[in-house]
């Protein structure tokens, strides 16, 4: 039996690693991203790339429908696509607020709504990519952090509501990960090297996580080995929130 998954934010970074690890584990995957780079993932019919904006109202049903059409079942949804914003509160506009919630929160809810009936049939699961920013306060990340707090709570809500129907829902909460995600924000700093040094100093292991390390935690949360785990927010943060 071949398992099937939908992964958002799949073109690069953590999402790309998730697709590669799932493929290696025998999953067939619909890989969703805004960027046409997601097309690079297509190989031997096991990965179906879908270039789409997760904020578009029709994307969740289209992506889940594609998995059902192509693979006949859905075992896993990974809500991973997101945008970062580092901005002091007083400089953060209503448009920033709306855009971040529209990208980081509402699609995850819509994808879950589209996926849950299918996941109930396979006793499948959802894994959301949250963040340490959704667990603790981090200066200048107000709206981004609020979106990740919402992802944490979405995870718990869905876990409790759907446990009786056999669907598990968990999240990972990465600390700094070595992807392009925060590079742009850091590049805009007056002293990017000093900013990176502060980030590293805040992680007891003294380094960023590799995207593959976060992906491994996501794949674990989807696997039968974690059958007893639901509603959990698994930190992959080099000790950040343990300080
Ligand atoms: N990198 C970090 O330090 C870090 C830390 C904590 C949490 N996270 C979380 O990890 C997840 C993945 O981040 P990453 O570091 O791999 O980032 P990344 O920027 O490398 O990848 C994110 C992907 O999401 C896609 N994406 C963004 N908006 C989209 C949209 N509207 N529709 C479709 N695709 C869209 C991008 O095109 C990109 O391919 C995000 O949820 C992020 O919040 C990252």
pLDDT band at 88 (very low <50, low <70, confident <90, very high): very high
Mean of the per-residue pLDDT values for the chain?
Answer: 96
* pLDDT at 189 exceeding the cut of 90: no
Cβ 75 under 6 angstroms from ligand 1:
no
Least confident interval from 50-54, 62-66, 194-198, 228-232: 194-198
Q: Tell me, yes or no, if 240 is annotated catalytic.
A: no
Pick from 177, 183, 213 the residue to mutate for probing ligand 1's pocket: most ligand atoms within 8 Å of its CB.
Answer: 177
Q: Give me ligand 1 centre to Cα 132, in Å.
A: 14
Could you tell me if 79 and 15 are in contact, meaning their C-beta atoms sit under 8 angstroms apart? Answer: no
Closest C-alpha residue for ligand 1 atom 36: 9
* pLDDT at 79 exceeding the cut of 90: yes
Average pLDDT for 139-153: 97
> How big is the chain by its Cα radius of gyration, in Å?
17
pLDDT of residue 45: 73
Instruction: Tell me which of 27, 111, 144, 162 is the catalytic residue.
Output: 144
Average pLDDT for 134-160: 98
Q: What is the pLDDT of residues 13-47, one digit of tens each?
A: 999 999 999 999 999 999 999 999 999 999 767 99
Better pLDDT: 218 or 186: 218
Could you tell me if 96 and 87 are in contact, meaning their C-beta atoms sit under 8 angstroms apart? Answer: yes
Cβ-count burial of 77 within 10 angstroms (0-12 exposed, 13-18 middle, 19+ buried)? buried
The H or E element spanning position 205 is: none
Average pLDDT for 212-240: 98
Q: Give me ligand 1 centre to Cα 81, in Å.
A: 5
Residue spans of beta strands (DSSP E) within 106-146: 125-129
pLDDT of residue 110: 98
pLDDT of residue 37: 97
Cβ 50 under 6 angstroms from ligand 1:
no
Degrees, nearest 5: CA angle 141-144-146:
100
Q: Give me ligand 1 centre to Cα 49, in Å.
A: 16
Nearest atom of ligand 1 to the alpha carbon of 10: 39
Average pLDDT for 109-130: 98
* pLDDT at 106 exceeding the cut of 80: yes
Structure token pair of residue 195: 């900013």
Average pLDDT for 159-177: 98
pLDDT of residue 207: 97
Pick from 83, 98, 132, 181 the residue to mutate for probing ligand 1's pocket: most ligand atoms within 8 Å of its CB.
Answer: 181
> In angstroms, rounded to a whole number, what is the distance separating the alpha carbons of residues 143 and 58?
25
Cβ 53 under 6 angstroms from ligand 1:
yes
Cβ 81 under 6 angstroms from ligand 1:
yes
> In angstroms, rounded to a whole number, what is the distance separating the alpha carbons of residues 159 and 167?
7
pLDDT band at 211 (very low <50, low <70, confident <90, very high): very high
Q: Which domains does the chain have, with CATH numbers?
A: 4-179+209-238 (3.40.50.720)
Degrees, nearest 5: CA angle 22-47-179:
60
Average pLDDT for 73-87: 97
Closest C-alpha residue for ligand 1 atom 1: 177
């Amino acid at each position: 039996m071949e398992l099937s998954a939908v992964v958002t934010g799949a073109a690069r970074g953590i999402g790309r690693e998730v697709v590669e690890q799932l493929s290696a584990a025998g999953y067939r995957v619909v890989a969703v991203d805004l960027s046409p780079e997601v097309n690079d993932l297509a190989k031997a019919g096991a990965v179906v790339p879908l270039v789409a904006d997760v904020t578009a109202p029709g994307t969740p049903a289209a992506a889940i429908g594609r998995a059902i059409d192509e693979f006949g079942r859905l075992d896993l949804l990974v809500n991973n696509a997101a945008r970062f914003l580092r901005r002091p509160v007083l400089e953060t506009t209503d448009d920033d607020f709306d855009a971040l919630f529209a990208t980081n929160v509402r699609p995850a809810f819509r994808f879950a709504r589209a996926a849950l009936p299918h996941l109930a049939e396979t006793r499948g699961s959802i894994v959301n990519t949250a963040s340490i920013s959704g667990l603790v306060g981090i200066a200048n990340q107000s709206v981004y952090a609020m979106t990740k707090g919402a992802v944490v709570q979405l995870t718990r809500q869905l876990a409790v509501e759907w446990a009786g129907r056999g669907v598990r829902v968990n999240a990972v909460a990465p600390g700094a990960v070595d992807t392009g995600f925060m590079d742009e924000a850091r590049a805009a700093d007056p002293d990017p090297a000093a900013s990176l040094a502060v980030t590293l100093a805040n992680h007891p292991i003294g380094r960023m996580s590799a995207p593959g390390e976060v992906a491994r935690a996501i794949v674990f949360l989807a696997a039968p080995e974690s059958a007893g785990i639901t509603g959990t927010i698994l930190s992959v943060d080099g000790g950040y929130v343990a300080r």
